[in-house]
Amino acid sequence: MVIFKIQVLKFILRLDVISNEMFYYLQPKFNNTMFKTNLGCLIKKASSFATKQLSTGVFLCALLFTLHTKASAATINVSNSQQLIDALKNAASGDEIVLASGTYTTSASTYYYPLLSYYSGIDSDIASRTAYFRGSQSNITLRSANPSNPAILAGSGWNVDGYVLHVTGSNWAIKDLIIKNGAKGLILDNSSNSMIQNVEIYDIGQEGLHVRDHSHDCIIDNIFIHDVGKRNDGFGEGIYIGSDNSVWWEGDGNNTGEKGKRYRRACHNTLVKNSTFGPNISAEPVEIKEGSENTIVENCIIRGSGISGANFADSHLDIKGTFTQIRNNTFYQDGNSGIARSIMIVPRQGAGVAQQYTAHDNYIYGNTFELNSSGVEIAVANNGSEDIYAWNNTRIPSDGDFYNSRINDFEPSVIKTGSAAKGSSCHIATPERGYELTGSSGSFSFEILTEEGFTVSSDQSWMSASRSGNTITVNYNSNSSGSNRSGRITINGCLDTYVTIDQTTDSSSVCSLVVGNTSLSFTEVAGSASITVTSEETFTVSDDQSWLTATINGNEVLISASENTSETTRTALVTVVGCETQTIAVTQSGTTSICTLSVSESSLSFGSNAVSQNINVTSTENFTVSSSPSWISTAVNGSTLTINVSENTASSSRNATITVSGCQNKVVIITQEGDTPSSGGTTINVAADSYVREDKPTRNYGTSTSIRTVNLNNDSQECYLKFDLSGISSGNVNSAQLSLFPYSGKRVNNNLHVANSNSWSETALTWENKPSYGGSIANWYIDDDDQFFYIDITNLVKSNAGGDLTLVITGASEDDIRYRSKESGNNAATILINGGQSNVRLHNQSIVIEDDLMTATPFTVYPNPNSTSTLKVSGADEKVYILNLQGSMVLSSVEQTIDISSLAPGFYIVKSGNQTTKLIKQ
């Protein structure tokens, strides 16, 4: 009896091997999901039945008896191709296959890879593969006998289908080999804790080395990959870690990989070190795909020669995964003009990838980039990237571009790592891919094969799913809609799968759903209304606007609208879903229009210099503007009122009024000081500076060494500057200029605003809590960086003297610019009072003159441009003033010929009365 039990146990211990071998040999004839699943169930039940008949002691004795014959590992020496094929086929755990020097080649063969353990949801559970050499066992060493004269594994050519070496086992050590002449070089599928060391791969049609299908915790050390991608330029990566989400096992079921196989996404914890990629790699030398985390690439040489630009292959390294570290590597452009940037961070949310799986928490540091094109950046992060950091990187030459604005150019407080990969033993198997139901109501159950926990859910209201152990029960309503319908039962566990439910219509009964009204109107006040729904089936209701709620009360839908405080009529849609779908259009009118008119300033004070300032006018109706006396003029552009004040050459102050007339009248009082001597220059250093980012609304950047602006949809950045003017008296201010130093970026437009509050702190300011600000009071164009800019803010300083002043700089273009902050140690923003620059950036001018200052004039100046020492004026009836672009007078004359020999080359404004024109001095 004991002998019989031992023999039964030996049979059980071989069941898994037998099942795999049966799948391998029977697949060409029996490629049927139900056949394979039922066979697995029979084997599992037989195992359970037999083992229950044995005591624990007998079981252990039988186990030792069965396994003792394979107690020690073997060294298998091979010297020809057939010996290598046999060794790979028959090797057992712990064996070492040692290759004599020479070339090993054979014909590529197609074989079948049993996928029941985790691919049960695919219609065809057996996927074909074509390779020259393959190994499926685990814990195997494959190496050359003589590392200085390594063995060569060769296919039939790079334009012929087939992997040169395909490994599907774990704990492999592949060392001291050359792999060449195949469509693909070395492929690791579902291989964990394997090491590739001292291997050269070249003359390959597509990718050289692919770490794929949940291969994880692998080490790639001292490999040399070159001359790959000969067959497909855009698919010829050097090393490719992970898979595109379109071929994930965890995908939506619409796409499959080559010949029907899908790949699990979790290719985690890959270490690539001490290796060389290139020359002549036609796609990216290194590609890290979405779904892969904890990849490290260090101490590698990555060359740019050969990168083709095909299929977006225009960088050395693409990062689409997470928690990646790129450190201590050297990148060479090699004169390749097809390289647009060295490292590209590409988020894949637009392709349906969840944020948690793509383009966040990536770190680039300690690398050297030899990039001969100045416009080639070290790294660029696309929109949607999160927490990308780059620091301590060297660019040769150093005057080229470094990073775009989505990359944090400083070292983070901590380098984060992701969670570990899931175990390779995980599997979930369903007996059927789908079920067809009749139109009547009912329920059915099926059992899945798994040793892991899982949850079930339905995506349709007419059916539900529940579980008891491994049994799933589906309940469904009758289908009286008149048409067939489909749904999906989703199973979520260590892997995710689903079964499809198709239900025909029930011809014996046709359901109808009727709503009493398909439209409803409310006034601007809050209100409710009920609409009757007639249906033989249950129904649900939903609404699409926050100001509206729709609920079910018996056979009625109760619709409630909140008060509409705006003047605009608003609409919403209520959807009733049962056996049919009906909609109710809801309209709510706005409030009655009430005329309002307001101005942002009721009084303004100016120094004696000629100056312009903008204020805002808010009105529900059209308005007009008048001013008196003649030394003040106005211009209106939309809601912006520009006030122009001419120079006061008298020693006494003077007053003027501006009247804004519409449905109401508003008066602005203007006071201008007399021409008094300056009492000396004063510099006010910035007291607090920071910037805010729209795409990171809760993050503070108060300790950054730069402040930045950019104007992008959902990705804008703005600078905030606070100055303490408590020691300044308005009467002592004759001029004030804001000094800024941009150091990274050019060809950028910026606007200047005044914040509506000074109640913010440098270390707490974020996009969410930033003070609001008024309209633009000045704008300028930066045509070059690394030099100071000065903007006249005399009136702002005078009107805010004795308190605090907060200025806001915003972007007027999509390009970004960075200014020095006080944390940088030098060249931070300052205000220069009574001692600023008198002739600011007139050559290669950057500060923009508003178009309404360049109005048509009845007088002319010539020659213009002018390279002489005199300027002739024709048609001017009043005194002529020549102003610099900050509005400060530099010359005045009542003569028709003016000596301009003292003017430096640049742009000037010539003014007579209320008319102006532009002068270019050469």
| Among 773, 806, 833, residue at a domain's last position | 833
DSSP structural state of residue 405: T
* CB-based contacts of 375, cutoff 8 Å, min separation 6: 400, 401
Q: Mean of the pLDDT values across residues 817-826?
A: 88
CA distances from 716 to 433, 650, 697, 710, 835 (A): 48, 46, 10, 5, 34
Give me the pLDDT at residue 767, please: 95
- 3-class SS at 202? strand
Q: Which of 145-159, 614-628, 652-666, 897-911 has the lowest mean pLDDT?
A: 897-911
Considering the domain boundaries, does residue 109 fall inside one? no
Mean pLDDT score of the chain, rounded to an integer?
82
3-state secondary structure 765-798: CCCCCCCCECCCCEEEEECCCCCCEEEECHHHHH
- Say yes or no: 177 and 156 in one domain: yes
In single-letter form, the type of residue at position 352 comes to: G
pTM comes to 0.44
| Among 640, 672, 704, residue at a domain's last position | 672
Read off the tokens for 850: 């508003």
Measure the CA–CA gap between 691 and 810, rounded to whole angstroms: 10
Give me the pLDDT at residue 223, please: 98
Report the domain count for the chain.
Answer: 7
- Say yes or no: 251 and 400 in one domain: yes
- Say yes or no: 690 and 790 in one domain: yes
Task: Give the confidence band of 910 by pLDDT, cuts at 50, 70, 90.
Answer: confident
The answer to whether residue 74 scores a pLDDT higher than 70 is yes
The answer to whether residue 769 scores a pLDDT higher than 60 is yes
- Say yes or no: 249 and 369 in one domain: yes
Give me the pLDDT at residue 27, please: 34
In our burial notation (b when 16+ CB lie closer than 10 A, e otherwise), range 307-346 reads: bbbbeebbbbbbbbbbbbbbbebbbbbbebeebbbbbbbb
Q: Mean of the pLDDT values across residues 458-463?
A: 92
Q: What is the pLDDT of residues 261-273, one digit of tens each?
A: 568 888 999 999 9
- CA torsion sign, 98 to 100 to 102 to 107? negative
**Among 169, 162, 167, 154, which Cα is nearest to 99's?**
154
What is the extent of the structural domain holding 908?
851-921
**Among 542, 541, 567, 568, which Cα is nearest to 555's?**
541
Measure the CA–CA gap between 816 and 130, rounded to whole angstroms: 50
CATH number at residue 877: 2.60.40
In single-letter form, the type of residue at position 688 comes to: A
DSSP structural state of residue 710: B
Helix %, strand %, coil % for the chain, to 5?
10, 40, 45
CB of 351 closer than 8 Å to CB of 377? no
Considering the domain boundaries, does residue 650 fall inside one? yes
Q: Mean of the pLDDT values across residues 746-764?
A: 91
Q: Mean of the pLDDT values across residues 452-465?
A: 90
Give me the pLDDT at residue 441, please: 86
Give me the pLDDT at residue 677, please: 45
Considering the domain boundaries, does residue 83 fall inside one? no
- Say yes or no: 340 and 392 in one domain: yes
The answer to whether residue 749 scores a pLDDT higher than 80 is yes
Give me the pLDDT at residue 264, please: 82
- Say yes or no: 225 and 358 in one domain: yes
- Say yes or no: 232 and 286 in one domain: yes
CB of 840 closer than 8 Å to CB of 906? no
CATH number at residue 615: 2.60.40.10
Give me the pLDDT at residue 876, please: 78
Q: Mean of the pLDDT values across residues 415-430?
A: 60
Task: Give the confidence band of 255 by pLDDT, cuts at 50, 70, 90.
Answer: low
- Say yes or no: 388 and 476 in one domain: no
Q: Mean of the pLDDT values across residues 344-350?
A: 94
Give me the pLDDT at residue 756, please: 93
Give me the pLDDT at residue 465, please: 94
In our burial notation (b when 16+ CB lie closer than 10 A, e otherwise), range 489-503 reads: bebebbbebbbebeb
The answer to whether residue 799 scores a pLDDT higher than 80 is yes
Task: Give the confidence band of 651 by pLDDT, cuts at 50, 70, 90.
Answer: low
Task: Give the confidence band of 243 by pLDDT, cuts at 50, 70, 90.
Answer: very high
Give me the pLDDT at residue 676, please: 54
Measure the CA–CA gap between 48 and 63, rounded to whole angstroms: 16
Considering the domain boundaries, does residue 147 fall inside one? yes
Between 904 and 293, the higher pLDDT residue: 293
Give me the pLDDT at residue 10, please: 36
Read off the tokens for 239: 């090393």
Give me the pLDDT at residue 334, please: 94
The answer to whether residue 625 scores a pLDDT higher than 80 is yes
Considering the domain boundaries, does residue 133 fall inside one? no
Q: What is the pLDDT of residues 701-742, one digit of tens each?
A: 999 989 999 988 888 999 999 999 988 888 888 889 999 988
- Say yes or no: 154 and 230 in one domain: yes
Task: Give the confidence band of 2 by pLDDT, cuts at 50, 70, 90.
Answer: very low
Give me the pLDDT at residue 837, please: 53
Measure the CA–CA gap between 601 and 793, rounded to whole angstroms: 16
- Say yes or no: 336 and 374 in one domain: yes
CATH number at residue 267: 2.160.20.10
Give me the pLDDT at residue 844, please: 30
Considering the chain, what percentage of its residues have pLDDT values greater than 70? 82
The answer to whether residue 569 scores a pLDDT higher than 80 is yes
| Among 807, 833, 859, residue at a domain's last position | 833
The phi, psi pair for 46, rounded to 5°, reads -65, -40
Considering the domain boundaries, does residue 115 fall inside one? no
Based on its alpha-carbon atoms, the radius of gyration of the chain, rounded to whole angstroms, reads 38
Element (H, E) at 49: helix 33-52
Give me the pLDDT at residue 867, please: 86
> Burial level of 23, CB count in 10 A (0-12/13-18/19+)?
buried
CB of 330 closer than 8 Å to CB of 298? no
Give me the pLDDT at residue 781, please: 80
Measure the CA–CA gap between 526 and 477, rounded to whole angstroms: 39
**Among 577, 575, 616, 578, which Cα is nearest to 597's?**
616
Q: Mean of the pLDDT values across residues 23-40?
A: 34
Between 101 and 112, the higher pLDDT residue: 101
- Say yes or no: 264 and 323 in one domain: yes
Task: Give the confidence band of 232 by pLDDT, cuts at 50, 70, 90.
Answer: confident
Considering the domain boundaries, does residue 120 fall inside one? no
The answer to whether residue 3 scores a pLDDT higher than 60 is no
Q: Which of 233-237, 372-376, 513-517, 519-523 has the lowest mean pLDDT?
A: 233-237
> Burial level of 181, CB count in 10 A (0-12/13-18/19+)?
buried
> Burial level of 892, CB count in 10 A (0-12/13-18/19+)?
middle
Q: What is the pLDDT of residues 379-411, one digit of tens each?
A: 999 999 999 999 999 999 998 889 998 999 999
Q: What is the pLDDT of residues 424-452, one digit of tens each?
A: 345 566 767 678 898 888 999 988 877 67
Give me the pLDDT at residue 788, please: 82
Q: Mean of the pLDDT values across residues 229-258?
A: 77
Q: Mean of the pLDDT values across residues 67-82?
A: 73
Give me the pLDDT at residue 79, please: 96
Read off the tokens for 128: 């074909």
Give me the pLDDT at residue 507, please: 65
Q: What is the pLDDT of residues 483-533, one digit of tens each?
A: 899 999 988 877 677 788 999 887 665 677 889 899 999 998 899 999 999
- Say yes or no: 289 and 341 in one domain: yes
* CB-based contacts of 486, cutoff 8 Å, min separation 6: 500, 501, 502, 503
Considering the domain boundaries, does residue 129 fall inside one? no
Q: Mean of the pLDDT values across residues 560-573?
A: 91
